[in-house]
Chains A and B, each alone.
Chain A
């Protein structure tokens, strides 16, 4: 059972996403298709994390809650795909973003010790 990141992102187009940290997001997919629900149910039964690890599947209302373990580039891609109203940020992510921003600026600076 393997669900591609691309496939996941398509599913997330209509969902709301909470960015937890630099490496994980939670997504609530509403109106999931029968095929998507079948794929994710299969993944849950197999107990395998896939591109998206389902936390909860509500078959009746067709709502799937996913936890995605994805890297920073994938998160950036998500930002481009989703509207601001779909995104929410966990505090940890915001703090981590400041750490990374500081690191990026500091690395770009010239060495300070004379040698």
Chain B
């Protein structure tokens, strides 16, 4: 159980996002099960400072929302809390007992959870956010999490160790918890080197899935429903889920662990459907398609698969890794345009997203075939543009 949990924490800490490192996770656990101690162990292992913030214990000042008059008394300022000074080179902010945050404190926690902002300050790309909450009925002075706050975290249940596990721990590692140290900077470099292809693959997969199940893009439980304080699909959580899915491949997680990680953002119902969609479509890796290792053939009976393959290939061709070698990027783009041209003969609307990615990166003139696709797609682009102008 602990191994699984530690893997999830590691993957969350070492997942790149649009504003730096770390997917925010929220562990639901009963009091006294050792969350803080384990987080301290994780922080120590990766050599990052840990700041434990408990709304009930530290109060508003620690969240940068206490106004202070300026020296001349003409302005109110919101100084950064003292602990932010320890986070200059990265760190882990552990928001403990989040369910003790009163409604008035939840808005500033929103900014901290997702944007890593506190008061007016950005904590930096290497700061990660992890949180824990006691179920509302068990929290002292507990509050339900407002849906916007809940929707900024991946939600996982922190299982209590059973009597056997606890006894083993008491007799074994109570004084010497086994911690394998790793170099956080090296781990970040490893993840970035391995990221682009699975990320492209995931983007294609999830874009195709959402296209086939649009009602799952945003499915907020009704207010007051217990699930509104937990994981549910939204535009935001789908992005986090996509990163979690990619992290599963990059961190070598088992399918089960990966699904739990992904489901922590969008809920297990949505992840079950996603996994079943991925299995059914058996998507090839983008690089295998682009280099001809896999002979991809479009079928009119499997439009979602075609959409996913083209989107993932386009995402890969325009990725940072590939764009570092301009000649190779153009070769791969030319190959992708050959596939796009074939699909465009039968389903022109299907090729639009992939063509858009290539066009946005100025790869639309890499070959005569590319130009032919662009000319063919012109009426579609005119139609879309006209529709938006109305």
Contacts and interface: CB of A to CB of B under 8 A. Distances in A.
Do A and B form a real pair?
yes
Contacts, number: 66
Say whether chain B's binding surface is mostly helix, strand, loop, or mixed. helix
Contacts of B239: 114-115
Interface string B234-266: 010011001000000000000000000000000
Chain A contact residues: helix, strand, loop or mixed:
helix
B385 interface: yes
B364 A114 contact: no
Contacts of B359: 102-103, 106-107
Interface stretch (A47-55, A61-69, A81-89, A93-101): A93-101
A98 B374 contact: yes
Contacts of A114: 206-207, 210, 217, 235, 238-239
Interface centre among A102, A112, A114 (most CB of B within 10 A): A102
A113 B203 contact: yes
A106 B207 contact: no
A111 interface: yes
Given A113-B311, A115-B239, A102 B377 contact: yes
A12 B206 CA distance: 56
Interface string B261-299: 000000000000000000000000000000000000000
A102 B206 CA distance: 27
B356 A106 contact: yes
B203 A115 contact: yes
B371 interface: yes
Interface residues of B, number: 30
Contacts of B385: 105, 108-109
A115 B365 CA distance: 25
Contact of A101 (B203, B217, B235, B378): B378
Given A98-B375, A99-B371, A99-B374, A115 B238 contact: yes
A57 B121 CA distance: 69
B15 interface: no
A113 B353 CA distance: 7
B9 to A, nearest CB: 23
A101 B384 CA distance: 13
Nearest to A96: B371
A23 to B, nearest CB: 12
B357 interface: yes
Interface in B194-216: 203, 206-207, 210
Interface of B: 203, 206-207, 210, 217, 235, 238-239, 242, 311, 315, 352-353, 355-357, 359-360, 364-365, 371, 374-375, 377-378, 381-382, 384-385, 388
22 contacts: A95-B371, A99-B371, A102-B374, A102-B377, A102-B378, A102-B381, A103-B364, A105-B384, A106-B355, A107-B360, A109-B356, A109-B381, A111-B356, A112-B352, A112-B353, A112-B356, A113-B353, A113-B357, A114-B217, A114-B235, A115-B239, A115-B242
Given A98-B378, A105-B382, A114-B235, 20 more contacts: A95-B371, A98-B374, A99-B371, A99-B374, A99-B375, A102-B364, A102-B374, A102-B375, A105-B381, A106-B355, A107-B360, A108-B385, A109-B384, A109-B385, A109-B388, A111-B360, A112-B207, A113-B207, A113-B353, A114-B210
